[in-house]
Amino acid sequence: MAANDSLPTKKNLQRRKIVTDPTCDQCGEEDEDCLHALWGCQSVKHVWWDFECCRKFISERFVSFRDLFQGILAQRNQHMAELFAYMGWSLWYNRNAKRVGSTSLPAEKIFNDAVERLQEFHSVQDYSIQDDVVVHSTQWRPPPHPTYKINFDGATFIESDTAGLGVVARDSDGMVIASLSERISLPPTVADLEALACRRAILFALELGLQDVVFEGDSEVIIKHLKAEQPCLTAYGHIIDEARSLSARLRQASYSHIRRKGNKVADQLAKLAKSLYEPRVWMEDIHSNALQYVFHDRGVMPV
């Protein structure tokens, strides 16, 4: 609607003779059209500044919101376009909430909220892979002895055009054998990221010299592709194929899907990569930020 200039801005309401004054209520300086309400108003510019990928556009002149959005799409970055759209929606929601006196999200939290909500959205997306309905666990379970379980996850840091990989290996007692946090360049899609996280988990198992391993992640689509016998024809199919090839070097490898709530340890390790400049590995240990989730998974409270 914004790209078609069909939002009920004050400028559009004036055209329909619903209001007489098109001036923006937020700044009181310019007419409120879609471009001004969602981008040009001084009350929203600091929100876009939080989104590093958009900073280079702030000083440019656009004739309409469609013009701006086409510039964003021209970057050919799916993450950027999705985050831009969600932030625009949040700004419009906040604008309307203020007009009617409803509760709204503080402007300084809009960027982080958008990032978190998009990550959550992608984590539960149904990628149209047909399969029987399976009830997946929300609680981490240890593997049978002498098998090891390696959980993996990814996290996106769109503002820095990077992503994080988190991997943790545990034994049948739930004890951490090793853990890893690594920052990489931002892949094209979340599915690519999850596939890369799985491949890194398999490499980690080989580096540790493990032989019987269950690989577990919260991306159902990636797990289904890894289990499938047919070739993966997606854009990230080459990553899936490489992961399968690497896992063939193990004595026994299987794949398990777990809900995001049960994958907190790997998730926390992936998020820790944001501040890293090189991969970090902990042998028989883990970063303190993830320790509470290890205790939770084992059903043990720290002393």
Mark out the alpha helices in 8-144 (DSSP H runs).
10-15, 34-35, 42-49, 55-58, 65-73, 78-100, 110-123
Report the alpha-carbon distance of residue 266 to residue 261 in Å, rounded: 11
Strands (DSSP E) contained in the chain are: 148-157, 162-170, 176-185, 212-217, 252-257, 280-283
Strands of 176-185's sheet in order across: 252-257, 212-217, 148-157, 162-170, 176-185, 280-283
Low-confidence stretches of the chain (pLDDT < 50) are 126-135, 300-303
Condensed to tens digits (0 to 9), the pLDDT of residues 23-60 reads 988 888 889 888 888 888 888 888 888 888 888 888 78
pLDDT confidence of residue 301: 32
Task: Map residue 132 onto helix, strand or coil.
Answer: coil
Asked whether the whole model's pTM tops 0.75, one would answer no
Residue with tokens 């876009």: 48
Residues 6+ apart with CB under 8 A from 257: 134, 136, 216, 217, 218, 219, 220, 223, 224
The answer to whether the CB of 176 falls within 8 A of the CB of 170 is yes
**Which architecture characterizes domain 148-298 according to CATH?**
2-Layer Sandwich (3.30)
Q: Is 199 exposed, middle or buried (0-12, 13-18, 19+ CB in 10 A)?
A: buried
| Sequence ranges of the chain with CATH classification 3.30.420.10 | 148-298
Q: What is the pLDDT of residue 133?
A: 38
pLDDT digits (tens, 9 = 90+) for 118-169: 777 766 554 444 444 344 567 899 999 999 999 999 999 988 889 999 999 9
